[in-house]
A and B are shown apart, each in its own frame.
Chain A
Amino acid sequence: SQQGEEDPQALSIQEGENATMNCSYKTSINNLQWYRQNSGRGLVHLILIRSNEREKHSGRLRVTLDTSKKSSSLLITASRAADTASYFCAPSHNTDKLIFGTGTRLQVFP
């Protein structure tokens, strides 16, 4: 298992703007997941992208994966105040466990 490293550590934007978060990892993966954590709550799975996929969409979320650069990005379009949360990436390669990084804290101002 390996840990993903999210960047930036913190991001503040206005409602309606897009938010982009990045994740880097070190070794080969089978898939990479993104999770969201609202303050005081457990993590919630957002999206999973497999190593043979380059881009995936889910509602206002767009995830890209570049295995040659060992990086992924999460784009939230037309952000809302309710998107305020911490976002974590979790790269995975044939292991049961996920190692979470410190996340990106997103603040969306109304």
Chain B
Amino acid sequence: DAGVIQSPRHEVTEMGQEVTLRCKPISGHNSLFWYRQTMMRGLELLIYFNNNVPIDDSGMPEDRFSAKMPNASFSTLKIQPSEPRDSAVYFCASRMVGGTDTQYFGPGTRLTVL
């Protein structure tokens, strides 16, 4: 299996621009998680989906952030408008509900907002 795929791997944008991060979970997994990691705040859970339905978005920092999962094999995390404080590494992870609790992480997207 290819594992969790994220794109782009690196994104540099200017403040105010829209940013879209993409994730393809492992085939057959039905739970998907978006995390953000910074030196200051560590690894934060932003939102997660079960069977394409958002279950808990309490970690989404503000309305500028939105996430969608239109089907079982694709999810997006959008930031509009972006701000310098959004600079971080964003990880996507997936797991199989009903299996073990093990999550499988993607390689991350390093976002820099200038």
Contacts and interface: CB of A to CB of B under 8 A. Distances in A.
Given A42-B91, A101-B42, A96 B97 contact: yes
Q: How large is the interface on B (under 10, 10 to 19, 20 to 34, 35 or more residues)?
A: 20 to 34
Interface of B is mostly: strand
Contacts of B106: 42
Contacts of B56: 96-97
Q: How large is the interface on A (under 10, 10 to 19, 20 to 34, 35 or more residues)?
A: 20 to 34
B79 interface: no
Interface in B57-105: 89, 91, 93, 97, 100-105
User: Which of A40, A43, A92 has the most chain B CB atoms inside 10 A of its CB?
Assistant: A43
A100 B33 contact: no
B108 interface: yes
Contact of B48 (A41, A97, A102): A97
Given A96-B55, A96-B97, A97-B56, A45 B48 contact: no
18 contacts: A30-B101, A40-B108, A41-B108, A42-B93, A42-B105, A42-B106, A43-B43, A43-B91, A44-B105, A45-B104, A48-B101, A88-B43, A96-B31, A96-B56, A97-B45, A98-B45, A99-B45, A102-B42
Interface of B: 4, 31, 33, 42-43, 45, 48, 50, 55-56, 89, 91, 93, 97, 100-108, 110
- A-B pairs, top 3 by smallest CB distance, nearest first, are A42-B105, A100-B43, A43-B105
